[in-house]
Chains A and B, each alone.
Chain A
Amino acid sequence: MENFSLTRSELIQLTEDTFIINFNEWIDFEPTQFIMIETETSIVRKPFGLGRWNEKLAIGVQIIGPGTNYIVQKSVLNAHGPCGKGFVPPEGKGAMIATPACLPMAFDLNKRCNCDVFIGSLEKLSIEIPFPLVIGDESFLNLLRSLEGYDWFLVIGSDQMEKVSYDVLKDKAEVFVSFNEYMACGIGACRGCAKETKNGLKHLCIDGPVLRGEEVWS
């Protein structure tokens, strides 16, 4: 855990509002760990999952407000991390289902773990990606229904996309979900990112971000 500055190497546009940013610096991290990035638009830092792109450290950013817009605009970002518990996949073959903003994480996981990656997007991407891509809600649901023969699933995206995915996949194999909750410190101090689970309250910045879906939704 440390403070650092990251200088942008490339800004790759995926859709109208979604980008991959890769950096000149490298930090060691475990799959699904994240960093907390400072912006001028909020008094708390924002969490972004770490991954890789073109062999560099990378994050994916979907612009949803002034904070994410700031991150896309700036060439130097102050951050701390890596935060969170690294995802340790279970035995067997897995499948990761993610949105375009999670591509760097997906690329990293695909490289390190025995898993296939599937990307669900609402629109076409402006670059070629090395994973199957489906576009639109209906295609995404069909994709989920078609996934068979996996020992585990990992879902990373918006709250709604994660819940839909969990509901379709839960009877096929264990489903892990990278949950989204508002964070302030990212290091376990403030207890702000509490999540109700059937095993009690968990704090996503130290117990997560990945939890078993059935802990939260069963």
Chain B
Amino acid sequence: MELRPPIVIASGVGGMGEYLKLIDPKQIGAYTLKTTTFKPRRGNPPPRLIATQDYLINSIGLENVGVEKFIEELENKVYDELFEKVKVIFSFAGENFEEYLLVAQKMSPYQGRFVAFECNFSCPNVHFNPLSNVAELERMLSELRKRLNVFLIAKLGIEGVFVEEIAKIIEKCGWNGVTLINTIRALHVDGDRIIKGGISGPVLKPIALRAVYEVRNRTNLYIIASGGIMNEQDAEQFFKVGANAISIGTALYKDPKIVEKIARMFS
């Protein structure tokens, strides 16, 4: 996969293309859509966000319309303008292994429209954690590989087995890349309120750097680095430890123009 510039808009944060209102599409290598699941998901009840200077905790819970409605939207040309402007990555997940396969099956006829499929194995806001059962994960990775011809990326977290061990299995199963790392489970106490969710932002950067470093040293996978990239210096550090591309997520909330600033490094 060749992305110019090697900058990806992160799944979740980027919604379904809304940031093209604020960012020049020429400065985006690929735009990852919000994760689509087999069944529609209402998401978690509010409050869903809390932010400080150093982190954001979100508990969106994969709110999405489900794959059937998404396909209907694709066919009704809802995303045609997005496809015309940028390369698009499809992100998907399920509430069990079977649902991952069902989404892949339904999306298989449409895979040519996307530059890659990103399989979200690590959302911290849902109950199912595919990374907790390595044997089942390996079976599913192989099944998904058989069903899809597209560039396949696994989005990984760091909870459970060491991320480099999972990455080696992903490579063995014929997948092409990994996105490192997803948000991590966290909790914020705000007066009487307790907000649980996935943490992102600058606090994640050293953890994500280590994950990229370890996976680069053990695999030849294409690595999209994600976690706390807030400026050009952060981006440089991720490329230094072996990232092929970087993913911008939470930084968009602070300044959507950060994508264009980082893209200047490659012009």
Contacts and interface: CB of A to CB of B under 8 A. Distances in A.
Contact of A43 (B42, B46, B56, B63): B56
A195 interface: yes
A44 B49 contact: yes
B22 A80 contact: yes
Interface in B72-106: none
A190 interface: yes
Contact of B22 (A181, A187, A193, A201): A187
Nearest to B251: A43
B14 A189 contact: yes
Contact of B53 (A3, A41, A182): A41
Interface in A176-204: 181-185, 187-196, 201
Give the secondary structure class of A's interface.
loop
Interface in A54-102: 78, 80
B21 A187 contact: yes
B27 interface: no
A3 B257 contact: yes
Nearest to B51: A44
Nearest to B13: A190
A120 to B, nearest CB: 24
A182 B16 CA distance: 20
Contact of A44 (B19, B42, B43, B254): B254
Interface centre among B51, B60, B63 (most CB of A within 10 A): B51
A184 B253 contact: yes
Given A43-B52, A43-B53, A184-B58, A191 B43 contact: yes
A162 to B, nearest CB: 16
Contacts of A41: 53
Interface string B32-44: 0010000000110
B252 A185 contact: yes
A38 B15 contact: no
Given A78-B255, A184-B56, A191 B48 contact: yes
A82 to B, nearest CB: 11
A43 B202 contact: yes
Interface residues of A, number: 28
Contacts of B51: 42-44, 182, 184
A45 B49 CA distance: 12
Contact of A201 (B43, B201, B230, B255): B43
A1 interface: yes
A111 B108 CA distance: 55
B191 interface: no
B60 A192 contact: yes
A78 B52 CA distance: 18
Contacts of A171: none
A2 interface: yes
A189 B47 contact: no
A43 B201 CA distance: 8
A182 B57 CA distance: 12
Contacts of A191: 15, 34, 43, 48, 60, 63
A86 to B, nearest CB: 17
Contacts of B50: 182
B253 A190 contact: yes
Contact of A38 (B34, B42, B255): B255
Contact of A42 (B12, B52, B230, B257): B52
B22 A1 contact: yes
Nearest to A194: B46
B254 A38 contact: yes
B49 A192 contact: yes
A182 B253 CA distance: 12
8 contacts: A2-B21, A41-B53, A43-B53, A182-B49, A184-B51, A185-B18, A190-B49, A201-B63
Q: Which 3 A-B pairs have the closest CB atoms?
A: A189-B15, A189-B18, A192-B49
Given A45-B254, A181-B47, A182-B47, 6 more contacts: A2-B22, A3-B257, A43-B52, A189-B15, A192-B58, A201-B43
